[in-house]
Structure 1
Amino acid sequence: MAVAPKFAAHVLGSVAHPVHTLEIYLDYVCPFSAKLFKRVYNDVKPIIDSKFPNKVQIIFRQQVQPWHPSSTLTHEAALAVERVHPGSFWKYSAAIFENQVDFFDVNVVNETRNATYKRLSALAAPLGVDEQQVYRLLAVADKPVNGAYNSGNQVTNDLKLHVKAARLVGVHVSPTVIFDGIMDNSISSGWDVDQWGEWLVKNVV
């Protein structure tokens, strides 16, 4: 599936004419998504760059899991960072996954939505991203906006597009991997580097 130009930062690296596309559907507060992200980001991408240069593009796909109430907030934060500084999208995603426990149910249940947004915005600061700009995109008004009580924030419509995209291809769980347009349920978040290496040899032409 194509990536809209305004979401181009979801593509890891730059491959002008990729032969293959690896799409990883991830939820920022899913432990298994964290394992898959870290493996792909830290280990699989370097293998692809060294052994299969210019053949595989990797795309991050937002997979909001509504049974984790803070899932929506974390995905919104990543989209806000992409708006403010696209080049930091993957690094910020890594920061969320590294600190994901801070956004699990027990760690958000007693704070307001905007307070969670402030903590998520603060994660962007060490990356050189203006956290105040990120927060301004995320903050939700506490009074009606032009008569609307469900006004959302400035990235609400962006998130809707990502949710629609996942529904279109029938993705239900995280993590899910789609390779060249086909869901590959053989890929596990628990795969080690050797297993990924074997899979790449078999599937990358």
Structure 2
Amino acid sequence: MPDISASPHVDPLVWGHGPRLFEIFVEPTCPFSVRALGKLDALLRQVGEERITVRILFQSQPWHMFSGVIVRAILAASTLKGGKETARRVMDAVGAHREEFEFTNHCAGPNMDATPNDIIRRMEQYSGVALEEAFALPDLQSAIKWHCKYARQNGIHVSPTFMVDGLIDPAISSGDSVDAWIERIFS
């Protein structure tokens, strides 16, 4: 059993501490979000943590059928030892095995018979993080609602969406290079 008493709060998914704020709204099984998430470490390395703050936020989307379960499990992981790094490990595991968490054409396939518990067990298997107990934390509801409210207040409708210093930048795409991101973020 994981020790959730050591870190009972939801650790914000924030890296870096620079003055430029780069926020990315993602759905963890969206292929475009997964591609964007894969660029964040390179972005931080190239720019430097003293120049940029990167924040990951969730934009759960109903056509990704297990989105709510997966988002809750990732936020649950952030309450465990390691906080945001543990959450990132779970998020990366989902991205690396996204077909295991998706439906064929968003409506068919083997996941039609999967339960939320099956999805959590897969996340645990791929990430090596025990999630079941933390998943049941009642306080996660507040964090999930905060992510939803923050996205709605900022006009976020799809993932991934990128904001620089509080303004959506529709010119930034998951298909762009990290260098192109840097140019947009610091222009």
Matching residue within 167, 175, 179 for 1:190: 175
How many angstroms apart in 1 are the aligned matches of 2:13 and 2:158?
19
SS in 1 for 2:25: strand
Which segment is superposed worse, 89-98 or 75-84?
Answer: 89-98
Matching residue within 133, 138, 160 for 1:136: 133
How many angstroms apart in 1 are the aligned matches of 2:138 and 2:113?
21
1:66 counterpart residue number: 62
Q: Residues 193 and 168 from structure 1, CA distance in 2 versus in 1: closer, same or farther, beyond 3 angstroms? A: closer
Which segment is superposed worse, 104-113 or 75-84?
Answer: 104-113
Q: Normalized against structure 1, the TM-score is what?
A: 0.76
How many angstroms apart in 2 are the aligned matches of 1:67 and 1:156?
21
Alpha-carbon RMSD across the aligned residues, in angstroms, is 2.1
Deviations 1:25-65 (A, max 9, x none): 00011100011111223x2111111xxx5121000011101
2:73 counterpart residue number: 77
How many angstroms apart in 2 are the aligned matches of 1:107 and 1:35?
24
Q: Residues 7 and 55 from structure 1, CA distance in 2 versus in 1: closer, same or farther, beyond 3 angstroms? A: farther
How many angstroms apart in 1 are the aligned matches of 2:68 and 2:114?
15
Q: Residues 121 and 155 from structure 1, CA distance in 2 versus in 1: closer, same or farther, beyond 3 angstroms? A: farther
| Structure with greater proportional helix content | 1
Whether contact under 8 Å (2:20, 2:51) holds in the other structure is yes
What does 1:12-23 align with in structure 2 at a 5 Å threshold? 12-13=15-16, 15=17, 18-23=18-23
Tell me the percent identity. 27
SS in 2 for 1:102: helix
Matching residue within 174, 185, 197 for 2:159: 174
How many angstroms apart in 1 are the aligned matches of 2:87 and 2:127?
10
Structure ID, larger Rg: 1
Structure 1: state its 5+ residue gaps.
1-5, 140-151
How many angstroms apart in 1 are the aligned matches of 2:177 and 2:22?
17
What does 1:4-43 align with in structure 2 at a 5 Å threshold? 6-13=9-16, 15=17, 18-41=18-41, 43=42
How many angstroms apart in 1 are the aligned matches of 2:100 and 2:12?
25
How many angstroms apart in 2 are the aligned matches of 1:154 and 1:119?
23
Structure 2: state its 5+ residue gaps.
1-8, 104-108
How many angstroms apart in 2 are the aligned matches of 1:174 and 1:136?
28
